[in-house]
Structure 1
Amino acid sequence: MVIHRCFLLVLLCCGMAHAACPSPPALPTTQQAAAWAAQAPDRGPLWRISRDGHSSFLFGSLHVGKADWAYPGPALRAAWAQTDVLAVELDPADVAPALQAAGPGAPLAPPLAARLEAQARAACLPPGALSALPAMLQLSVLTLMEARRDGFDAGFGQDLMLLAWAKAERRPVQALETLREQLEAIAPPPDQLPQIVDGALRQLQRGELRVPLRRLADAWQRADMQTLADYPRWCGCADTPAERAWFKRINDDRNVQLAARIAAAHATGQRLLVAVGALHMSGPQALPRLLAERGFTVEALRPAK
């Protein structure tokens, strides 16, 4: 199951837990935070993209992390120092009103809706906590809750780290997509929705998400682009024609528009640090490839080529 970036979900995931529930993260002490910030290694893939006489940077982010991951390493700090604007998938300020306007989306058959609610109870969420969300976002919340069992949390994702950094420095933030566009992208056709929800619930109910989540996080932090490129082969989330079509829709198909908007923003003379989910950097429509086709010189900084 791909984890989507929707900051309201972070709030929904924060609640009291007992021993059988995914534990909320422990916040670092002041001393721990200072040590982690001073010693942070580089994590995640990073590219310099140059055109029109100036450079921007493209960072493949992970939307969950561990407490000590929420600090930039040397390469990302250097990219930050050479840029003026942070570009991210979504502006978090747009999320809550857009979700309220969007509504719960296509309804599920009662047995499938009951299974989704049962899985929310198993994750220790209050009854009905997710019912106002579209089914695919409900699954994203449940995926985030499952990630907590291995010490990962959306609060330590790279996007939030960079947004907090930008806020502290009053750096402009530019959204590359609207929430409406993301919701339209992640919603499968109505005739495929039950199959995709059923497949994701089976993974959750069988405890089969934790291994691919750990593998994804490990590949991301090492900037292992081959493992990331092979994600559909080992995630257990793209095994059927409907699942493969859905994955292409939310990943490859969105990249075309993302590349166009990155290129347009760069063309205005802005020096961008672009942070987009790392899976968008792989596949036949990988963002570095699309930007190269648009005339950018693309230089991999991590992993170095």
Structure 2
Amino acid sequence: MLIQTARPLRTCIAAFLLPAMTTGALAQECPPQPLPLEQAREHIEKTPAKNAGLLWRVEKSGRTSWLYGTMHLMHIDYAKPGLQVMIGMRTSDVLAVEINVYEPQQPIPTSQTSKFEMSQEQLGRLKSAYQKECIAHDPAQPATHLLMQSQANRLGLFWGYGPDGRLMQIAKRTNKPIIQLESLDQQINALRPRSQVEFDAQLNSSLKSFEHGVLSSHLATLAKAWQRNDLQTFIKDTEQMNAQFPDFARRINDERNVLMARKIDDLHTEGKRIFVAVGATHMTGTHGIPKLLEEKGYTVTFVPLRNDNGQ
């Protein structure tokens, strides 16, 4: 089964907050849609598996768990997990993810997403962006999420092909328990601006990033880095986010990482071998999950991945 519709609210959304540094023309046609299910299945079946992403081995008390840094949206050619990733998955007792799409989530009241007001100038720019991207206004979804998703789709990146969704499908098919590390409400609360000033700064940066083509180029850079197992690009991305938006970075990564690392530690202490699949930005920096687990006494080793052809 391919998941085509369910997707977490946070999907590389931090990339959308980078200031515009380059210019580029936006395509006028609507973003593409994912392949029909049957075509997607056929494509995935005939495409070789690829070892992509960021993988760490985590050891303590004679048990081995795994940390896997993902990108929530990915190209269909990377929808089949590679051998090294699958070995970690198969030797684990449970799969741990940010949000389990198979579990019902509490709906978020629309009022919580529209606390702050947009100026007429912001509304005009947003309306123009939505028209270019064929987006219908959805008050329950922040503009950053909708525009980021449209740009990712233009690059051929979709949730249904991402490693998080694919690994959940595999776990469901093999009756491996899926454990949710946080709630949807916790995610959305981390994303929610704390003041009108912060709301304006984020929205203006987001619109500028979209209008100048930086969002698309940045998503493309991150996708290629993930496909090449390029940890350094994600480290630099985290450092840039921390420098430009320290309060947002603390909420979206650092504070959530502490909670997720605590739950991972609890599961491992209970005797479970865990395969953890969460966004790659949660794995980098001094407040990344690998570092937090090291501080809890784990031996954490980055595992260089090779393509299944030995490259």
The TM-score bracket by the shorter chain reads 0.7 to 0.9
Out of 112, 135, 140, the residue aligned to residue 125 of structure 1 is 135
For 1:200-279, list aligned pairs within 5 A: 200-232=206-238, 240=244, 243-279=245-281
Contact persistence 2:97–2:278 (CA under 8 A): yes
Cα contact 1:94–1:179 (8 A) shared by 2: no
**TM-score for the superposition, normalised by structure 2:** 0.82
Corresponding residue for residue 148 of structure 2: 143
> Which has the higher mean CA deviation after the structures are superposed, 98-107 or 202-211?
98-107
Which of 92, 116, 128 is 1:83 aligned to? 92
- Residue 45 of structure 2 aligns with an amino acid whose one-letter code is A
Q: SS where residue 99 of structure 1 aligns? A: coil
The Cα of 1:302 is off from its aligned counterpart by 2.5
Alignment check: 8 A CA contact 2:152 2:216 kept = yes
Q: 269, 288, 301: which is aligned to 1:286? A: 288
1:145 is aligned with what amino acid? S
What residue is the counterpart of 2:21 in the other structure?
none
**Distance change in 2, residues 1:270/1:229 (3 Å):** same
- 1:276 is displaced (CA, Å) by 0.8
Q: Which runs of 5+ in 1 are unaligned?
A: 1-5, 11-17
Q: SS in structure 2 opposite 1:55?
A: strand
> Can you list the C-alpha shifts for 1:249-272, whole angstroms capped at 9, x where unaligned?
211232111111110111111111
Gaps of at least 5 residues in structure 2 are: 1-5, 11-26, 307-311
DSSP-derived class of the 1:145 partner: helix
Quick check: 2:97–2:181 contact (8 Å CA) kept in 1?
Answer: yes
Taking CA–CA contacts closer than 8 Å with sequence separation of 6 or more, which of the two structures ends up with the larger relative contact order?
2
Cα distance in 1, alignment partners of residues 102 and 111 from structure 2:
15
In the alignment of these two chains, the number of paired residues is 281
- The equivalent residue for 2:15 is none
Deviation of residue 110 (structure 1)? 3.9
- Once the two structures are TM-superposed, the CA of residue 187 in structure 1 deviates from its matched residue by 1.4
For 1:15-72, what per-residue CA distance to the aligned partner results, in whole angstroms no more than 9, with x for missing partners? xxx9711111224455432222xx2120001111111221111100111111121111
SS at match of 1:228: helix
User: 1:208-244: CA deviations, max 9, x gaps?
Assistant: 211111110111121211111001566xx6774xx23
The farther-off stretch of 266-275 and 295-304 is: 295-304
Within the alignment, does 1:92 sit opposite 2:101 as a pair? yes
- 8 Å Cα contact 2:110-2:140 kept in structure 1: no
Q: Deviations over 1:157-203 (max 9, x none)?
A: 11111111111112111010111111111112213111111101111
Counterparts of 1:80 and 1:189, CA distance in 2: 38
Contact preservation (8 Å) 2:238, 2:285: no
Which residue of 2 is the match for residue 194 of structure 1? 200
CA RMSD, aligned part only? Answer: 2.4
- Deviates further, 178-187 or 113-122: 113-122
Which letter does structure 1 place at the counterpart of 2:132?
A
